[in-house]
Structure formats: structure tokens, C-alpha cells
């Protein structure tokens, strides 16, 4: 048996909607300040899932969405309320 077959055999299939990222990891991976993430959540732009012991988690899809939001904020100069309006206009909230 070669390594490629072993990798396929032991691969983990996780749905993109499965909440797996805690906030601190999401902030670290996206280079996003915790306060900014808190404000995004407060505006309802991204809704965390899962509440294991009050620990809210983000999914892979949430992380992709946050990456787009971060681009709008950092690169395009849009504030959080503006991001919400843009996404509402696109019917994504």
C-alpha cells in the first residue's frame, strides 16, 4: 500500500457548514482583530454556529465569508455597516 492510498483511506470528510473553528483560531488564521470579528457578529453579517459550553464556532463557509469581509474592510475601505449593506443588496444576509 502506498502513501497516497493511505491518505485517501484516512481522509476526514468534513462538511463546509460544520462548525469547527473557535473565534480565536478564526482571528489568527484570517489576521482579523477579535474586536472586528465581534462587531461583524454583532451586526449579524456572520452567524456563529454550535454552542458547546457557550463556545460559538465558525464553519469553513463562515471563514470564506469572513475573508471576503476582511477584503472589503482592509482593501476597499468599507466599514462594517457598509459591508452589511453590500451583502444585503446581494441578498447574502
When pLDDT is averaged across residues 13-30 and rounded to a whole number, the result is 92
Whole-number average pLDDT of the chain: 89
What is the distance between the alpha carbons of residues 82 and 68, in angstroms, rounded to a whole number? 13
Q: How far is CA 35 from CA 12, 23, 75, in A?
A: 32, 11, 18
Whole-angstrom Cα Rg for the chain: 16
Q: Determine the pLDDT at residue 2.
A: 77
Reported as a single tens digit per residue, the pLDDT across 49-62 is 876 556 789 999 99
Domain boundaries, the chain: 16-89
pLDDT at 67 exceeding the cut of 90: yes
Q: Determine the pLDDT at residue 51.
A: 64
Residues 6+ apart with CB under 8 A from 12: none
Q: Which CATH number fits domain 16-89: 3.30.420.80, 3.40.50.800, 1.10.1660.10, 1.10.10.10?
A: 1.10.1660.10
pTM of the model: 0.80
Amino acid at each position: 500500500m502506498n502513501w497516497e492510498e493511505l491518505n485517501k483511506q484516512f481522509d476526514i470528510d468534513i462538511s463546509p457548514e460544520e462548525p469547527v473553528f473557535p473565534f480565536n483560531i478564526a482571528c489568527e488564521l484570517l489576521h482579523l482583530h477579535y474586536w472586528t470579528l465581534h462587531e461583524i457578529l454583532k451586526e449579524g453579517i456572520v452567524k456563529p454556529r454550535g454552542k458547546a459550553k457557550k463556545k460559538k464556532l465558525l464553519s469553513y463557509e463562515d471563514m470564506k465569508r469572513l475573508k471576503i469581509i476582511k477584503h472589503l474592510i482592509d482593501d476597499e475601505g468599507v466599514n462594517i455597516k457598509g459591508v452589511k449593506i453590500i451583502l444585503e443588496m446581494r441578498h447574502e444576509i
